[in-house]
Amino acid sequence: MRLVVFSWIVLVTCTVPALADDATMSPPCAAPMAATLADRPGTGRTTSTGGAPCVALPGEWILESGVRRQITTNTSGSSTLASGPLTLVRVGVTPKLELALAPPAPQSRAASGISTVDAARGSTDIMLAGKYLVLDTQRAQGSVGASYSAPTGSGEFTAGAPTFSVSANLAVTLTARFTFSTSQVAGTAIGTDLANRNRSFFLYAPAYTLSYALDANDTLIAQDALVSRQGPLLPAGSRFVLALQHAVGTRLAFDVDVERNLRPTLGSAANAIGAGVVWIVETGHARR
């Protein structure tokens, strides 16, 4: 409950002063660049909902993809999880609405212990999502989103049941170099209980991101991605992500990142590296 209250205090505090903007200038989402659109699948934000508040322009097609490699260690051994390509296709439908599709992403896991070796391959579930722009001023941009994921994956990487999520996304320009953004995500997830049976549980996952523009093309990104529970019977989690994003013109951007779970399950440690790309394949029509 304290996490929920804190999240919404931050959301309201950042939004109210940002509404009084200079209306004579074109707001950022009216002609977005690839870097401002990135949901960055390599940096810890789920591709299902949340991420950048700006949406694709009408008729615009955006392709995002990324890879991620996570290593988890504990007293019984270690495991490596390789994910990718983590693809997300987004298209602008109306001046304020975009639709998105995340096809199944290949996953592989290799685990080794004192006397055992285990491996698994499969794919994640397909996901459909929508995002609607509700705020676009010089200093602040905001949107709301929703997603549905069907159990179409394979192996141990499918949830095995449908999952849903909703989100509120906000970005506020603090100075010429600093930008603060947050995604407040709530939904359902699937995990195992004491009887090793899959069960659905409610999940609240706020993320807070601070971006610093090193120059016109390069941005340093620090993010704390929280989660209310890591499983039906597991405690809350906190993943810290540090990323560097490089823009190539207005239609292409890359990022590389490192990630550490600040609140792993007892007796374990988890670290990850990743990389992502966002490409505006087809430019859209400017908003009016």
In this structure, what CATH number is given to the domain that contains residue 252?
2.40.160.40
Please check whether residue 100 is in contact with residue 128, taking contact to mean a CB–CB distance below 8 angstroms. Answer: yes
Nearest to 131 by CA among 260, 13, 32, 257: 32
**Is 285 inside any structural domain?**
no
Domains: count for the chain: 1
Distance CA 99, CA 90 (A): 6
Tens digit of each residue's pLDDT, the chain (288 residues): 555 544 544 554 555 555 445 544 567 888 788 888 887 766 655 554 678 899 999 999 999 999 999 999 887 788 899 998 999 999 999 999 999 999 999 999 998 875 566 788 999 999 999 999 999 999 999 999 999 999 999 988 998 999 999 999 999 999 999 999 999 999 999 888 777 788 899 999 999 999 999 999 999 999 998 989 888 888 888 989 999 999 999 999 999 999 998 887 766 888 999 999 999 999 887 765
The span from the CA of 35 to the CA of 25, in Å, is 20
DSSP structure class, residue 118: E
**Cis peptide, bond prior to residue 85, ω within 30 of zero:** yes
Rounded-to-10 torsion of CA 256, 236, 133, 101:
60
152 assigned to some structural domain:
yes
Structure tokens at 229: 């529970």
Please calculate the CA angle 257-189-276 and round it to the nearest 5 degrees: 20
Distances (CA, A) of 241 to 26, 218, 223, 271: 31, 17, 5, 10
Whether 139 is in a domain gets the answer yes
Phi, psi of 233 (to 5 degrees): -115, 10
Contact 273, 258 (CB under 8 A): yes
Give Cα 282 to chain centroid, integer Å: 22
The total of other beta-carbon atoms located within 10 Å of residue 274's CB is 24
Residues in the chain: 288
Fill in the DSSP letter of residue 16.
G
Q: How many CB atoms lie within 10 A of CB 180?
A: 17
Q: What is the residue range of 134's domain?
A: 2-278
- 271 inside domain: yes
CB within 8 A of 20, min separation 6: which ones?
A: none
Burial of 122 (0-12, 13-18, 19+ CB in 10 A): middle
Other C-beta atoms within 10 Å of 186: how many?
A: 17
One-letter amino acid at 204 equals Y
How far is it, in rounded angstroms, from Cα 139 to Cα 220? 19
Query: Does residue 182 sit in helix, strand or coil?
Result: strand
Query: What is the pTM assigned to this prediction?
Result: 0.87
Report yes or no on 283 lying in a domain: no
- Dmax (CA) of the chain: 68
**CA gap 5, 35 in Å, rounded:** 30
Residue 204 lies in a domain: yes
Beta bridge partners of 256: 244, 275
Answer whether residue 284 is part of any domain: no
Pairing label, strands 77-83, 106-113: antiparallel
**223 lies in some domain:** yes
